[in-house]
C-alpha cells in the first residue's frame, strides 16, 4: 500500500538527527574508518516533509518538484529542469525520474533553473554519464545522496549560498577533481558538509574571491554544562581556513578521534558523553591549527514527560507534526499503529517532534505516541494522539451515456475517506440500494438496457463522519444490429444474368469485412414469394435502432401503362412492384438501406432522368430536414421509397436500363458482373469474386474509414458512367440516390 511505502521512507528520515552526535563507541559508520565516530545521527537529514511523487513520470518528461518540471532530450543526453522551489526527495528504492524511466545512464548534462532552492535526496543518484554540474546561486541545500554514484562527475560549480551538503551527497564520485566555489575559503568553512563526502572534500577547490587572511583561530570553543537529554553546541571562528574538522576525546584518554563533522559548529546530545572534550582542527591546506579543548558536563535530571502529543485533524496531502516535551530524556522513540492494525511501528527517533506526510486515507485513526528513556534505565510513554482526516468530496460522479454491452465507469474523489459504498436506484424509485461487493473510488456498470435511467451515488465515510456524492445518471443506447438480405437473380429462362450471382457473393464479402458487422442472408434465383417472405425472415427482430440493408441484383421492368412505377423481376412468378417492395420494407423497424441494381430501378425513388448535374445538385442540397419535410408520398411523385425511413441507391434512372457484363468484368477481373455493383465494390476497396478488402477505399475521400451516402454515390455514379461510355456509348445509365448526403452508411474496421 502507498501509505506503508511512504511510511517506510518517513521512518528512515526521522531516525536521523541534524548535527547531533553520540560518541564513537555507541554505533557503527556507513564506511568503516579508523577512529571515526558514527555519523548516523550527526550528519543525516533532519525530518522533513515527504514529497515523493510516484505516478507523474513519463519516458521523457515529468514533475520533479511541486513547481519543477523536467524534460529529457535523448539526442543530446540533456535534462532541462524548469520552475522554482525544492526538488522532490527520493531514495535508492523510491527511484528518481531518470532511474525510474531507465535513462539515468544517458544523462550527460543537466540544466537547472534560477529559483531552484534545494537538490533533493538522491535526486541525481546513479546518473553515471554526468560529467559536470553547475548549481544556480539560489541553491542552499544539497540533499542526502544527491549525486551518489555519479561516477563520471569531474567538476562542480558550487554557489556561495549553499549552507548544507548532506550525508553521502557525493559518495561514489570517484572522478570528482574540481570544485569551483563562488566565494572565499573563509565562507567555505561555514558550509556544513556531512559524512560520506570525502571525494568532495579532497577535490581541488578554486575560489572566485581571494582569501588573503592568515590562518588563525579567533574564537575558541567553550566548555558547556547541559541537563541530561539536552544538546550542546560548540563553536569556533577561524580566518584563512579552508577546512574545519571537529574531534573528541574520551575522559581519561589522550587520543583524539574525528567526528566527521566539517563546519564552524558541532552539536552533541548530553548523554553518556559526560566529561568528553571537543576541539576543532582548522587548516588552509598547508598549515594546521588546533583550538583549545572544551569540556561537556552532563547533569542528571529525573525522567519526565512535561507535555504530550495532541490529536490533529487534517486533510489528505498535508504534513502534520506531533510534539513531546521531556526532562532528562536521552532517547525519544516515536511509535504508532494504524486504526485497523495492531502492529506497532517505529516512526522516528531522538527528536522531540515527529512530522508525517498524510498522503493516504489509511492514516485516518492512526495512533501516535512517544516512548522516552534515559541511559540509566528510565522509561516512560506519552499519551496516545490520533490522526483524524477531514472528509470531503473533491470529484463528483458524472452523468454517463454508453452503448449497450459497453461498460460505464463512475468515479468519486473523496480525500480522507476510509470506506466507500456505491448505491443505485431505479428511474422511478426514491430508495437507494447498496451495490453488492467491496467498492472503491470507481464503479463499473455493464451497459444493459435494463440499467438505462438508473442513478448512482457513493457514500463515503471515515472516523469523522459520512457524506454522499451527487447522483449520476446512466443512459444506455441500444446496440445497433446490422442485417442484410442479398438477392441475386441469374438463371432467367431468357436473358440470363450470370453476374448477379457473383454480385451477391462480392457484396456478402464486402459487408462481412465492415465494422458494421452485417449478418447476411443470401437468396439466389428466388421467386416473388421467396423474396417477400425473405424480407420478413431476414429482418425479423429488427428494432427501432437497427439498420437493415436490402440488395437486389437482377432484371427490372416497367409497365407500358404505368412506366413510372417500376418493378423487380424475379426469375419466376409475378413482378414485385416498387410500391409492394416499399410496403414490405416499411414494416421493417429502424433504418433501411436499399440498393437496387436493375433496369428502371430509379422508379423506386421517382428519379426518371439521367441528368448528372441534377444528381449533383440533389446530393448537395438534400439533408435530413428536407427529407423530413417531404416524408411520405409527397417526397417524390411515385417515389415509393422516398421517405425518411429509407436510404436508396439505384443503378439507373426510371427510364434507363442497367448494364451487365456476362463474359468479362468491367473492373478487369474477368468475372461477370453488373457495372453498378462492380463500381460499388470497387469504391469500397473490395475485389471480385469474394469481396476481399484491397487495403484502401477509393470512395473514402477524406480517408476517415467512413463512407457516407454522398461519397459512395459520387464514386459509383462516375465509375458506372465511365464504364458505360467505354462500351455503350449510345445508351448510358445514370445511377440515382435518395437520403441524407452526409449519413454514414459503412464503416471499415
555-600, pLDDT tens digit by residue?
998 766 555 578 999 998 789 988 889 899 999 999 999 999 999 9
Cell of 489: 437473380
Q: Are residues 551 and 660 in the same domain?
A: yes
Residue range 537-548: average pLDDT? 92
Q: Are residues 688 and 540 in the same domain?
A: yes
Residue range 706-731: average pLDDT? 89
What's the pLDDT at 343? 94
What phi and psi, each to the nearest 5 degrees, are found at residue 337?
-155, 145
Q: Are residues 594 and 609 in the same domain?
A: yes
Which residue among 389, 415, 438 closes a domain? 389
For residue 52, is pLDDT > 50? no
Q: Are residues 242 and 173 in the same domain?
A: no
Helix axis angle for 612-621 and 709-727, nearest 10°, is 170
Rounded (to 5) percent helix, strand, coil in the chain: 15, 35, 50
Residue range 35-39: average pLDDT? 25
Q: What is the pLDDT of residues 69-87, one digit of tens each?
A: 999 999 999 999 999 999 9
What's the pLDDT at 563? 55
For residue 666, is pLDDT > 90? no
Residue percentage of the chain with pLDDT more than 90 = 58
Confidence category of residue 50, pLDDT binned at 50, 70, 90 = very low
Q: Are residues 270 and 364 in the same domain?
A: no
In a domain, 585, yes or no: yes
Please provide the average confidence, as pLDDT, over all residues in the chain. 84
In a domain, 43, yes or no: no
What's the pLDDT at 10? 39
Of 509 and 641, the structure prediction assigns the larger pLDDT to: 509
Cell of 293: 579543548
For residue 630, is pLDDT > 80? no
Q: Are residues 313 and 418 in the same domain?
A: no
Report residue 249 CA to chain centroid gap. 58
In a domain, 40, yes or no: no
378: CB partners within 8 A, 6+ apart: 303, 328
Residue range 227-248: average pLDDT? 90
What's the pLDDT at 617? 46
For residue 14, is pLDDT > 50? no
Residue range 420-441: average pLDDT? 92
**How many whole angstroms separate alpha carbon 468 and alpha carbon 422?**
10
In a domain, 224, yes or no: yes
The full length of the chain comes to 749
Q: Are residues 313 and 292 in the same domain?
A: no
**How many whole angstroms separate alpha carbon 265 and alpha carbon 19?**
9
What's the pLDDT at 449? 86
For residue 176, is pLDDT > 60? yes
What's the pLDDT at 670? 86
Which residue among 172, 207, 242 closes a domain? 207
What's the pLDDT at 616? 41
**How many whole angstroms separate alpha carbon 653 and alpha carbon 464?**
77
Confidence category of residue 502, pLDDT binned at 50, 70, 90 = very high
Q: Are residues 486 and 442 in the same domain?
A: no
**How many whole angstroms separate alpha carbon 600 and alpha carbon 597?**
9
With beta carbons less than 8 A apart as the criterion, state whether 231 and 204 touch: no
**How many whole angstroms separate alpha carbon 659 and alpha carbon 283?**
106
Q: What is the pLDDT of residues 358-376, one digit of tens each?
A: 888 889 999 999 999 988 8
What's the pLDDT at 214? 87
What's the pLDDT at 561? 56
What's the pLDDT at 677? 96
Whole-angstrom CA distances from 307 to 16, 304, 310, 370, 561 are: 23, 9, 9, 11, 111
For residue 20, is pLDDT > 80? no
What's the pLDDT at 613? 45
CATH number of domain containing 173: 3.80.10.10
Q: Are residues 499 and 635 in the same domain?
A: yes
With beta carbons less than 8 A apart as the criterion, state whether 389 and 464 touch: yes
Residue percentage of the chain with pLDDT more than 70 = 86
Residue range 301-317: average pLDDT? 92
Which residue among 190, 207, 224 closes a domain? 207
In a domain, 177, yes or no: yes
Alpha-carbon torsion angle 675, 680, 684, 689, nearest 10: -50
In a domain, 35, yes or no: no
DSSP per-residue string spanning 237-263:
EEES-SEEEEEEE-TT----EE---BS
CATH number of domain containing 317: 2.60.40.10
What's the pLDDT at 464? 84
| Number of folded domains that form the chain | 5
With beta carbons less than 8 A apart as the criterion, state whether 433 and 505 touch: no
For residue 499, is pLDDT > 90? yes
Residue range 646-675: average pLDDT? 88
Residue range 390-406: average pLDDT? 92
Alpha-carbon torsion angle 494, 498, 504, 510, nearest 10: -150
Q: Are residues 108 and 180 in the same domain?
A: yes
Quote the domain boundaries for residue 567: 482-747
Q: Are residues 295 and 307 in the same domain?
A: no
Cell of 318: 498535508
**How many whole angstroms separate alpha carbon 5 and alpha carbon 9?**
7
Amino acid at each position: 500500500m502507498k501509505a506503508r511505502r511512504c511510511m517506510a521512507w518517513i521512518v528512515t528520515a526521522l531516525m536521523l538527527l541534524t548535527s547531533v552526535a553520540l560518541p564513537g563507541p555507541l554505533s557503527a559508520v556507513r564506511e568503516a574508518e579508523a577512529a571515526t565516530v558514527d555519523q548516523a545521527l550527526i550528519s543525516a537529514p533532519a525530518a522533513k516533509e515527504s514529497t515523493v511523487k510516484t505516478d507523474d513520470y513519463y519516458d521523457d518528461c515529468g514533475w520533479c518538484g511541486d513547481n519543477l518540471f523536467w524534460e529529457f532530450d535523448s539526442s543530446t543526453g540533456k535534462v532541462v529542469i524548469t520552475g522554482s522551489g525544492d526538488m522532490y526527495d527520493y531514495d535508492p528504492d523510491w527511484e528518481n525520474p531518470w532511474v525510474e524511466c531507465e535513462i539515468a545512464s544517458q544523462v550527460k548534462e543537466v540544466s537547472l533553473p534560477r529559483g531552484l532552492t534545494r537538490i533533493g535526496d538522491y535526486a541525481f543518484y546513479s546518473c553515471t554519464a554526468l560529467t559536470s554540474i553547475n548549481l544556480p546561486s539560489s541553491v542552499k541545500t544539497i540533499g542526502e545522496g544527491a549525486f551518489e554514484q555519479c561516477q563520471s562527475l569531474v567538476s562542480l560549480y558550487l554557489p556561495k549560498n549553499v549552507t548544507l551538503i548532506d550525508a553521502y551527497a557525493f559518495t561514489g564520485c570517484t572522478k570528482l577533481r574540481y570544485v569551483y566555489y563562488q566565494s572565499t575559503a573563509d565562507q567555505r568553512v561555514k558550509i556544513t558538509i556531512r559524512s560520506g563526502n570525502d571525494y568532495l572534500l579532497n577535490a581541488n577547490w578554486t575560489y572566485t574571491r581571494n582569501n588573503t587572511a592568515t590562518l588563525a583561530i579567533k574564537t575558541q570553543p567553550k566548555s558547556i554544562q547541559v541537563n541530561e537529554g539536552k544538546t550542546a553546541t560548540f563553536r569556533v571562528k577561524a580566518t584563512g581556513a579552508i577546512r574545519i574538522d571537529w574531534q573528541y576525546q574520551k575522559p581519561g584518554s589522550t587520543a583524539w578521534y574525528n567526528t566527521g563533522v566539517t563546519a564552524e559548529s558541532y552539536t552533541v546530545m548530553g548523554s553518556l558523553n559526560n566529561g568528553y572534550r571537543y576541539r576543532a582542527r582548522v587548516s588552509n591546506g598547508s598549515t594546521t591549527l588546533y583550538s583549545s579543548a572544551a569540556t561537556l558536563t552532563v547533569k542528571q535530571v529525573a525522567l519526565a514527560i512535561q507535555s504530550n502529543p495532541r490529536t490533529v485533524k487534517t486533510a489528505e496531502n498535508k504534513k502534520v507534526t506531533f510534539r513531546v516535551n521531556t526532562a532528562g530524556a536521552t532517547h525519544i522513540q516515536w511509535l504508532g499503529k494504524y486504526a485497523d492494525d495492531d502492529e506497532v511501528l517505529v516512526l522516528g527517533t531522538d527528536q522531540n517532534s515527529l512530522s508525517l506526510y498524510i498522503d493516504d486515507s489509511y492514516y485516518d485513526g492512526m495512533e501516535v505516541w512517544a516512548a522516552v528513556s534515559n541511559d540509566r534505565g528510565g522509561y516512560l510513554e506519552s499519551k496516545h494522539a490520533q490522526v483524524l482526516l477531514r472528509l470531503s468530496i473533491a470529484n463528483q460522479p458524472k452523468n454517463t451515456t454508453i452503448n449497450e454491452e459497453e461498460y460505464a465507469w463512475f468515479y468519486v474523489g473523496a480525500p480522507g475517506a476510509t470506506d466507500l459504498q456505491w448505491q443505485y436506484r431505479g428511474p422511478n424509485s426514491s430508495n437507494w440500494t447498496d451495490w453488492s461487493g467491496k467498492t472503491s473510488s470507481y464503479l463499473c456498470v455493464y451497459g444493459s438496457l435494463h440499467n438505462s435511467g438508473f442513478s448512482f451515488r457513493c457514500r463515503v465515510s471515515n472516523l469523522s463522519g459520512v457524506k454522499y456524492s451527487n447522483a449520476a445518471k446512466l443512459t444506455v443506447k441500444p446496440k445497433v444490429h446490422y442485417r442484410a438480405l442479398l438477392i441475386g437473380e441469374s438463371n432467367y429462362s431468357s436473358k440470363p444474368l450470370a453476374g448477379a450471382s457473383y454480385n451477391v457473393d462480392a457484396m456478402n464479402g464486402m459487408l462481412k469485412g465492415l465494422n458494421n458487422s452485417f449478418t447476411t442472408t443470401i437468396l439466389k434465383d428466388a421467386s416473388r414469394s421467396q423474396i417477400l417472405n425473405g424480407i420478413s425472415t431476414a429482418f425479423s427482430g429488427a428494432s427501432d435502432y437497427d439498420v437493415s440493408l436490402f440488395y437486389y441484383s437482377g432484371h427490372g421492368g416497367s409497365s407500358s401503362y404505368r412506366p413510372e412505377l417500376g418493378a423487380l423481376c424475379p426469375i419466376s412468378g409475378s413482378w414485385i412492384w416498387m410500391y409492394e417492395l416499399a410496403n414490405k420494407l416499411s414494416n421493417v423497424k429502424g433504418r433501411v438501406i436499399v440498393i437496387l441494381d436493375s433496369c428502371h430501378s430509379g422508379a423506386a425513388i421517382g428519379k426518371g432522368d439521367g441528368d448528372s448535374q441534377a444528381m449533383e445538385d440533389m446530393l448537395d442540397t438534400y439533408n435530413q430536414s428536407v427529407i423530413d419535410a417531404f416524408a411520405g408520398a409527397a417526397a417524390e411523385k411515385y417515389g415509393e421509397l422516398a421517405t425518411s425511413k429509407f436510404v436508396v441507391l439505384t443503378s439507373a434512372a426510371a427510364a434507363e436500363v442497367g448494364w451487365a457484363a456476362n463474359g468479362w468484368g468491367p473492373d478487369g477481373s474477368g468475372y461477370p458482373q453488373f457495372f453498378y455493383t462492380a463500381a460499388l465494390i470497387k469504391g469500397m476497396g473490395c475485389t471480385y469474386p469474394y469481396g476481399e478488402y484491397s487495403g484502401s477505399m477509393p470512395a473514402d475521400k477524406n480517408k476517415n474509414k467512413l463512407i457516407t451516402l454522398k461519397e459512395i454515390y459520387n464514386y459509383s455514379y462516375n465509375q458506372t458512367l465511365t464504364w458505360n461510355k467505354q462500351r455503350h456509348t449510345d445508351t448510358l445509365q445514370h445511377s440515382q440516390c435518395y437520403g441524407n448526403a452526409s449519413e454514414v452508411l459503412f464503416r471499415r474496421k
